Amino acid sequence: MTYVDDTRAKRNVAVLVLAQAILGAQLPMIFVVGGLAGGQLASNPCLATLPISFIVFGSMTTAPWISPLMQRNGRRFGFFLGAFAGAVGAAVSAYGLYISSFPILLAGSYLTGIYMSAQGFYRFAATDTASEAFRPKAISYVMAGGLLSAIVGPQLNKLVSDAFVIPFLGTYLAIILLNLVGMFLFLWLDLPKGSRSEPQTQSVKGRTRMELLRDPRILVAIICAMVSYSLMNLVMTSTPLAVVGCGFTTDNANDIVSAHVLAMFAPSFFTGHLIARFGVERIVSLGLVILALAGGVALSGVELGNFYLALILLGLGWNFGFIGATTMLAGAHRPEERGSVQGMNDMIVFGMVTVASLASGGLMNCSGGSPVEGWNAVNLAMVPFLVLAGGSLIWLVRQPKMAV
């Protein structure tokens, strides 16, 4: 058996885990306060979750250009750019809150989306120097860095969200600091500097985007990632509104989101091992089943225990579905296709997540006469998308095996 040295890959994974933990803490913070801040400033309650939608929209529109940018100039450059955009976005959002301007809050949210898009490529960067055997574990370990962000983010939010007279202003000021400190971690990354340092990949022409989408494995990986992420976002975006609307406190919402994000990332320590042992299709299928269970628990009641269990299951389902789909995609394309396929994947995935976050506020606040009816509408909306992803997996396993 040939020995493969993954020392370099493991060092990069360690840096990316820390980046996920420190920089990643801003997203659970924003997802807790974004809808509440939007509801505070928006003239129409149906638009309350628009700040979160603008973050996801920013991520979607960033992916097509930041992925080729990293292909040319290296991951480190793209990650620095993302953290800088996160700091600027938080500053603009803070200013929007300070002057009570909903449009400026949305502008800051869009810039935060640039950070979110860059963070999405941490999982791909983990595979750049990893062997085939270490690849699924590398992805899982980087995603596991979110465990610390799940603890740091919501708990920090409790300390700072009401630190000023203007609600939630402290959250965005703390996020500026997280980005300015966290960006220096990328100095320790040891990754390829981009295609300019790899002339051999420039002479080989990869498949076009349409040819990539005709590859069954790539297509199903994108569908499953899209469904896993968008359903997680659909439900999580509405959760603080539902929790507060059902008579609980903002601190309860912070704790529920914290439990959810822990559930999103805790399995990452062994998800890669499960994929290696049982196959990626089985793990993605398990993720979809758990997402369905989350919806069932949410529909069964609106007690605090229901919110906790539903959001924990939602996190687990996302982990298996999204990491599994990412692993499937990482093994389905050639090196010279990396920039195209990863950028296309994240554009499609976050495009659907944008739609989900937009729909979340409308379903929650405008589809019924009470928070309970809105919450039920949010969870019922999961059904057709779970059917789509499950059907695509069944179709994939019936396809003949194809080499990349």
Q: In this structure, what CATH number is given to the domain that contains residue 47?
A: 1.20.1250.20
Token pair for 11: 């060092």
Is 4 part of a structural domain of the chain?
no
Is 361 part of a structural domain of the chain?
yes
Is 204 part of a structural domain of the chain?
no
**What does R_g of the chain's alpha carbons equal in angstroms?**
20
Weakly modelled stretches of the chain, pLDDT under 70:
1-4, 194-205, 401-404
Please report the pLDDT score of residue 198 as a whole number: 42
Helix, strand, coil % over all residues of the chain, rounded to 5: 80, 0, 20
Is 323 part of a structural domain of the chain?
yes
**Cβ 9 vs Cβ 189: under 8 Å:** no
Token pair for 78: 């793209």
Please report the pLDDT score of residue 318 as a whole number: 95
Could you list the residue range(s) of the whole structural domain that residue 182 is in? Answer: 10-197+209-397
Angle (CA) 288-117-242 rounded to 5° is 55
Q: Count of CB atoms within 10 A of residue 2's CB?
A: 4
Is 404 part of a structural domain of the chain?
no
Please report the pLDDT score of residue 403 as a whole number: 45
Structural domain total, the chain = 1
Is 403 part of a structural domain of the chain?
no
Please report the pLDDT score of residue 287 as a whole number: 97
Is 202 part of a structural domain of the chain?
no
Q: What is the pTM of this model?
A: 0.75
Please report the pLDDT score of residue 195 as a whole number: 46
Please report the pLDDT score of residue 128 as a whole number: 85
Please choose, from the candidates 145, 186, 187, the residue with its C-alpha nearest in 3D space to the C-alpha of residue 27.
145
Please report the pLDDT score of residue 23 as a whole number: 94
Q: pLDDT tens digits, residue range 88-123?
A: 999 999 999 999 999 999 999 999 999 999 998 898
Q: How many CA atoms lie within 13 A of 33 on its CB side?
A: 30
Q: 32 Cβ partners below 8 Å, 6+ apart?
A: 154, 157, 161, 240, 250, 253, 254, 257
Please report the pLDDT score of residue 290 as a whole number: 98
Is 117 part of a structural domain of the chain?
yes
